[in-house]
Amino acid sequence: QVQLQESGPGLVKPSETLSLNCTVSGDSINSYYWSWIRQPPGKGLEWIGYIYYSGSTNYNPSLKSRVTISADTSKNQFSLKLSSVTAADTAVYYCARVSSGIDYWGQGTLVTVSS
Amino acid sequence: QSVLTQPPSVSGAPGQRITISCTGSSSNIGAAYDVHWYQQLPGAAPKLLIYGNINRPSGVPDRFSGSKSGTSASLAISGLQAEDEADYYCQSYDSSLSAWVFGGGTKLTVL
């Protein structure tokens, strides 16, 4: 059974960089697409970006200038960095596997941007 | 404003059939990109409900079905049950944005 677990600070100050890790078990990240998706409180889902097993990445154009997604195959983890955060970046952040559709999701982690 | 348009809410009585629409354009659904549907129960992560327009993952009841025509897709739920009360999202790819896109979500209320 594939499982994903997000980890990282739950509170980030404005203008700083949000950093999250996603640890994958039950599958190798050396296949499929691996993605980050977020959901502001009470709002809908927003795709942030993905990393392909080959190492290629693609980001939401609205976030592209601030986002970096990377992978550490030795730890079977992939990571998200979002720079220059503001209150508008407060959201539940999900990591996920993409096969035909987004078929496995982490439980999500709430990141609040506040001083 | 989402690229894929869904009704904000739908409702139905137990046992009834409801549909949720997802309207796109020629750069996403109309360009033959697959549509996927997700169910999000309160306080939980989304769950894949329909993939590739019409396919159900293992374990999803056949009460749930998907369809696609032109620039729109639909999710149908028959034999509505109280446990179906949730938010539902469609998702596809948009070639003009070069991005995966979600609908704004539809809240299903079981009366």
The pLDDT of residue B86: 97
Average pLDDT, chain A: 96
The pLDDT, as a whole number, for residue B2 is 86
Spatial separation of the C-alpha atoms in residues B90 and B72, rounded to whole Å: 10
Rounded average pLDDT over A27-46: 95
pLDDT per 10-residue tile (average), chain B, 111 residues:
94 97 97 96 96 96 96 97 97 94 97 92
User: pLDDT band for position A82 (50/70/90)?
Assistant: very high
Q: Report the pLDDT value the prediction gives residue A100, as an integer from 0 to 100.
A: 87
Hey, is the C-beta of A34 within 8 angstroms of any chain B C-beta? no
Q: Give the residue among A35, A13, A44, A42 at the shortest CA–CA distance from A111.
A: A13
Q: Which amino acid is at A9?
A: P
Q: What is the mean pLDDT of chain B?
A: 96
Distance of alpha carbon A105 from its chain centroid, rounded?
11
* Band (A3; pLDDT cuts 50, 70, 90): very high
Residue B70 phi/psi, 5-degree rounding, is: 60, -120
Task: Quote the pLDDT of residue A44.
Answer: 95
pLDDT of the residue at A54: 84
Mean pLDDT of A55-83: 95
3-state helix, strand, coil split of chain B in percent (to 5) is: 5, 50, 45
* Cβ distance of B103 and A44 shorter than 8 Å: yes
Write down the pLDDT at residue A53.
Answer: 83
User: Which residues in A lie closer than 8 A to residue B41 (C-beta atoms)?
Assistant: none
Interface contact flag, B89 A45, Cβ < 8 Å = yes
By C-alpha distance, which of A81, A96, A90, A88 is closest to A111?
Answer: A90
Q: Find out whether B35 and B28 touch, Cβ atoms under 8 Å.
A: no
* Distance in angstroms (rounded) separating the CA atoms of residues A81 and A67: 6
Q: Is B51 on the interface with A (CB under 8 A)?
A: yes
Q: Which of B64, B58, B38 is CA-nearest to residue A102?
A: B38
Q: How far is CA B90 from CA A91, A103, B11, B38, B87, in A?
A: 20, 14, 17, 6, 10
